[in-house]
Amino acid sequence: MKIIGVTDFGGPEALRLLEVPEPHPGPREARIKVAAAAVNPTDTVVRAGVRGASGQLPPHIPGMDAAGVVDEVGEGSRWQVGDEVMAIALPFGQHRGAYAEYLVGPDDSMARVPAGMDPVHAATLPMNGLTALQVLERLDLQPGQVLAVTGAAGILGNYLVRLAKHAGLTVVADAAERDRVLVAGLGPDHIVPRGDDVAERIRELFPGGVDGLADAAVLLNKAAWAVRDGGGIAAVREWRDEEPGRGITVHPIRVALEYRSGDKLDRIRALAEEGVLIPRVAATLPAADAPEAHRRLEAGGLRGRIVLTF
């Protein structure tokens, strides 16, 4: 089968179209004929070799989101050939990443594509949707409490704002001036200017601090002052600063832990069907153009996911 992978870690040019043997599903697994794979910032980390491959031999295959049609099932699988599904993938796991013609995974790494949604849009849901759910679970805020979201204009930020409002939280989101209309459309209660002084802007609204912070912009301690004493911060990347103190708990977010969270993935499907989660696609490119996709992503400024099609 054709994959987009790296034999040597590096920049976007390291991504190559390669041929590898087709995988086949084992017991309680299914194989997807991939139609679309989303391009996420995590994929650039895999491509560059920033995180260890845990002894995995090349080629390494990026991609944590896919959507397509089940074309082969293992013994005891709950899926049937012809089912339209979306899935989360683990690039350094047994079945590797989603930039591939075929993706094998356990039954509970998949859920049905939301009704009426094409695979390109569905492919943007699993990884960011599961990340957003994990953030809210770790922070464990109750209806009426206040959540601040940095990086609200990004896909993860979008999902966080929408899910938090759906859960009955009061939400304050950041936005650059050019993104203010976009972020306002997500329905936050308050919008503050994006920037290194975001904590001060949030404290102007909530002098005692907010109950929780979802730091999708990875501002770390630049945003930590926004949180009240005893509150919580969800860190979507490694927390490289000093712990903020004041009784604040930093919750590390690891979406890889949700690899077999089929029930949550099906909840994401339902939330998308209800219009709570709304995917945004910035562009679609043929899989062979993955280097260009990574260049565009790393240049910044996207307000939606680039999706590779197979």
**What pLDDT shows up at residue 55?**
82
Kindly state the tokens that stand for 113: 């594509």
Report the DSSP beta bridge partners of residue 6. Answer: 60
Rounded-to-integer distance, Cα 302 and Cα 310, Å: 22
Helix (H, G, I), strand (E, B) or coil at 23: coil
Nearest to 214 by CA among 245, 272, 169, 259: 169
Cis, peptide link before residue 27, omega less than 30° from 0: no
Q: Which CATH superfamily is domain 2-125+279-309 in?
A: Medium-chain alcohol dehydrogenases, catalytic domain (3.90.180.10)
**What pLDDT shows up at residue 143?**
98
Q: What is the pTM of this model?
A: 0.96
Kindly state the tokens that stand for 73: 């099932």
At position 139, the amino acid (one-letter code) is: L
Which residues, other chains included, contact 301 with Cβ-Cβ below 8 Å and sequence gap of 6+? none
Distance of CA 149 to the CA centre of its chain: 15
Q: Can you give the residue ranges of every domain in the chain?
A: 2-125+279-309, 128-255
Distance of CA 240 to the CA centre of its chain: 21
CATH topology of domain 128-255: Rossmann fold (3.40.50)
From first to last of its 310 residues, what are the pLDDT tens digits of the chain?
Answer: 999 999 999 999 999 999 999 999 999 999 999 999 999 999 999 999 987 677 899 999 999 999 999 999 999 999 999 999 999 999 999 999 999 999 999 999 999 999 999 999 999 999 999 999 999 999 999 999 999 999 999 999 999 999 999 999 999 999 999 999 999 999 999 999 999 999 999 999 999 999 999 999 999 999 999 999 999 999 999 898 888 999 999 999 999 999 999 999 999 999 999 999 999 999 999 999 999 999 999 999 899 999 999 9
Nearest to 152 by CA among 131, 183, 127, 192: 183
Cα angle at 233 between 232 and 236, to 5 degrees?
Answer: 150
Which residues, other chains included, contact 152 with Cβ-Cβ below 8 Å and sequence gap of 6+? 158, 160, 161, 173, 174, 175, 179, 183, 186, 188, 216
Say which residue the tokens 């209660």 belong to: 189
Q: Do the Cβ atoms of 149 and 160 come closer than 8 Å?
A: yes
Q: Do the Cβ atoms of 124 and 65 come closer than 8 Å?
A: yes
Rounded-to-integer distance, Cα 106 and Cα 194, Å: 40
Q: What secondary structure does DSSP assign to 57-114, as a single string? A: PSPB---SEEEEEEEEE-TT-S--TT-EEEEE--TTSTT--SSBSEEEEEGGGEEEPP
